[in-house]
Chain A
Amino acid sequence: MPIKNRFAELLPEIAEWRQTIHAHPEIGFELDHTAPLVAEKLRAFGCDEVVTGIGETGVVGVIRGRTDSRGQVIGLRGDMDALPILEQSGAAYASQNPGVMHACGHDGHTAMLLGAAKYLAETRNFDGTVVLLFQPAEELGSGAKAMIDDGVMDRFGVKEVYGMHNMPGLPVGQFAIRPGAMLAATDEFFVEVTGRGGHAAKPNEAIDPTVTASQIILALQSIVSRNADPVEQGVLSVTSVQTSSTAYNVIPQSVKLRGTVRTHSAHMQDMIEARLGEMARSVADGFGAQAEVTYLRHVPITINAEEPTAFATGIAEAVSGGCSEAPLIMGGEDFAYMLQERPGAFIYVGNGDSAALHHPEYNFDDEAIPAGCSWFAELVERRMPTAQA
């Protein structure tokens, strides 16, 4: 039996929660409507503990199984925040908060985890403890880390963590996953190239930072093409260039570059960070200019642990009859911080032929809810089976 019958019954109710959340999207940590809604539902389901204010506005719910003979504790994570996008989905329940939109399906993720919580609180057909982790600010890349910094893993004794993200392009209800690296580290860099400003007609009295910065942009491309192992993945994009002057007849004093580095392995990340600094400073030095490099590591690589991934794959196959290998993605996901703390896995659930994530016409497909809820519930019941089962 692929999808649990109970979730087929609960679909209208869970879809209604999803659409309510969709109509009231909120940004970052400012989840005044969403977080209380989640906490209130968890209490109504009869969760054993409901704790708010973890990582500012994160919510944690605890559900104990019928038995707890082995001390197993599984964390299940959903994200609650929306995006600063003006919605154009045309849905009847579209955002009532103009310029803010659930364009990444976190409304669906939260509703599915609430659905799983309702079922698990009703049945408690497992031997151990489930910790529900509703996090803020995934889109800022800092919500998961805020909950971890508040001690969520140790405080609730979480031993493994699992999370899910919808995936446009994958048929509704299908799953995809891969062991090891799945999403990228998203690093940001700034290079300020300082030459010596002057009159455009007197280049000999100046050090032209525009030419220097252009040479740096070209030279940086050789890191991926020449320094990286060709079988590894990496992206280095210089995305913004601004001269300190906007006059046509002035050689500016400085040029600011900004960009991003995406990698799937720690040594690629280390290598690119090191080469970026060396290259920018050396090229600038060659022109008599200076380059000041600031390199910020944001969300780390999302790495699925081997054994939990294999287990999660088996659950997905049981729920939907199959599970494909997920493509490596150069985007980032802040569940990566939780996977740094505990073994676990992140899985994609198909959202069908919808607009892409972060697109104004995107919408979460409620038909994915039974599959998503079933995967969470099945995972708990098989990972922590009761003696009778």
Chain B
Amino acid sequence: MPIKNRLADMHEEITGWRRHLHETPELLYEVHETAGFVVDRLREFGLTDITPGIGRTGVVAVIEGKTNTSGRVIGLRADMDALPIMEASGVDYASRTPGVMHACGHDGHTSILLGVAKYLSETRNFDGKVVLIFQPAEEGGAGGKAMCDDGLMDRWGIQEVYGLHNMPGFPVGAFAIRPGPLLASADEFEITVTGKGGHAANPHEAVDTTLVASQIVVSLQSIVARNVNPLKRVVVTVGTFQTDSNASNVIAHQVRMKGTVRTLDPDERALAEERVRRVVENTAAAFGAQAEVIWEEGYPVTVNSPQETRHAVEAARAVSDHVDDETDPIMPAEDFSFMLEQRPGAYIFLGNGDTPMCHHPAYVFDDEAIPLGCSWFAELVERRMPAA
């Protein structure tokens, strides 16, 4: 029996929570109502060990199994925040806050984990402890890191962590995962090149910043082509290039460029940063210009540990016949990576069917995926910490 009967029974109730959250989306750390809703539901389930305010607005709750001879503690994580997007999904429970939308399905993730919490608090059919982690600010605010910095892992004694994300393009009912890197690191850089502005007709009296910046853009391509191990994957993209003058007869004094570096390997990430800095600074110096690189470290690589990935695959196979355990990694980033840096664990993709992609204004979370997501978490807990 793939989906747990009890969770199938709860489908309508969980869907109701999901649609309520969808109507009331909140951004980054400002998830006050959402976190309050989560705490209220957890209390209704009879849970008492509930701690809000971890990582500013994150919520942590504990469910004890019938027994705890194993001493095992498993963390299950969901994200609560929405995106600054004007919703165009056309659903009748669309966002009531114009310009804010659950366009990444975090409403679904939170509801699935609440459903799991209700089921586990009723059944407690496991030997050990489950820690529920509801995090804020996944979308660019590093909420996962904020919770870790608040001592999440040590304070609750978490030994393994698991999370899931819906995935448009994969059929509902399908799971996809791989051991090792699953999502990329995403760092942002800003380059300011300063030459010497002047009249376009007198290049010899100027240092042509536009030419220097162009050399930099071209030279940066050599990092992927020549410095990165050809078996590894790295992307260096210069996304914007703006001269400080827009006149045809003025040599620009300054050029600003912004871009991103994506990698699937922490060593390659460090190499890419070092090479970007050297290429930029030395190319500028060779032309008599100066360059400043501001490096904003973003999310690290999301790396699934091998053993925990196997547990995740086994739980998924118990729930579904469509489990790909060697899916391709993807280059977007995910801040569950901070938790996976601290503890072994695994992150899995849950099919969302043929919908527009995440972050699209017409994206819709498919409620049919709820029982599958809930069952996967529940199976994982019950298999990993079997009751005596």
Contacts and interface: CB of A to CB of B under 8 A. Distances in A.
B307 interface: no
A241 B242 contact: yes
Nearest to B236: A203
Contact of A200 (B199, B215, B259): B259
Interface string A12-41: 000000000000000000000000000000
A101 B41 CA distance: 72
Contacts of A189: 248
B221 interface: yes
A247 B241 contact: no
B243 to A, nearest CB: 5
A265 to B, nearest CB: 15
A338 to B, nearest CB: 21
B24 to A, nearest CB: 27
Nearest to B218: A214
Contacts of A202: 235, 331
A203 B225 CA distance: 13
Contact of B248 (A199, A210, A215, A239): A239
B302 to A, nearest CB: 13
B200 A211 contact: no
Nearest to B197: A239
Given A218-B211, A241-B210, A203 B218 contact: no
A248 B241 contact: no
Interface string B229-252: 000000101111111011111111
Given A251-B237, A260-B201, A238 B242 contact: no
Given A203-B237, A245-B240, A249-B239, A238 B259 contact: no
Nearest to A255: B241
Nearest to B332: A201
Interface centre among A210, A237, A255 (most CB of B within 10 A): A237
B299 to A, nearest CB: 12
A347 B159 CA distance: 87
Interface in A232-248: 235, 237-243, 245-248
B252 to A, nearest CB: 6
Given A214-B217, A217-B210, A258-B248, A243 B186 contact: no
Contacts, number: 143
Contacts of A279: none
B203 interface: yes
Contact of A239 (B189, B247, B330): B247
Given A239-B200, A260-B201, A248 B239 contact: yes
A184 interface: yes
A237 B237 contact: no
B268 interface: no
A239 B188 contact: no
B260 interface: yes
Interface centre among B217, B248, B250, B259 (most CB of A within 10 A): B248
A246 B330 CA distance: 23
Contacts of A243: 239-242
Nearest to B259: A248
Given A211-B218, A248-B260, A200 B200 contact: no
Interface residues of B, number: 44
Contact of A203 (B214, B235, B245): B235
Interface string A248-273: 11111001001110100000000000
A200 B243 contact: no
B208 A240 contact: no
Contacts of A215: 214, 218
Contacts of B190: 248
A67 interface: no
A251 B259 CA distance: 9
B363 to A, nearest CB: 15
B248 A251 contact: no
A237 B204 CA distance: 11
A102 to B, nearest CB: 20
Given A200-B259, A214-B214, A218-B211, A242 B249 contact: no
A241 B243 contact: yes
A240 B239 contact: no
A248 B243 contact: no
A201 B201 contact: no
A199 B218 CA distance: 19
Contacts of B32: none
A61 to B, nearest CB: 33
B107 to A, nearest CB: 23
A56 interface: no
Contacts of A354: none
Interface string A197-241: 001111100001011011101100100000000000001011111
Contact of A210 (B241, B245, B247): B241
A188 interface: yes
A246 B249 CA distance: 24
A71 interface: no
Contacts of A255: 241
B277 interface: no
A259 B188 CA distance: 30
A251 B240 CA distance: 8
A331 interface: yes
Contact of B247 (A213, A240, A241, A249): A240
A86 interface: no
A238 B237 contact: no
Contacts of A259: 200, 248
Contacts of A50: none
21 contacts: A189-B248, A202-B235, A214-B214, A214-B215, A214-B218, A214-B241, A217-B210, A235-B202, A239-B250, A240-B210, A240-B246, A240-B252, A241-B242, A245-B239, A246-B242, A247-B240, A248-B188, A248-B190, A252-B239, A260-B249, A331-B201
Given A235-B202, A248-B258, 15 more contacts: A186-B201, A201-B184, A201-B260, A218-B214, A237-B251, A239-B210, A240-B210, A240-B245, A243-B242, A246-B258, A248-B259, A249-B239, A250-B239, A260-B248, A329-B201
Interface of A: 184, 186, 188-189, 199-203, 208, 210-211, 213-215, 217-218, 221, 235, 237-243, 245-252, 255, 258-260, 262, 329-331
3 shortest A-B CB distances, which residue pairs?
A201-B331, A330-B201, A214-B217
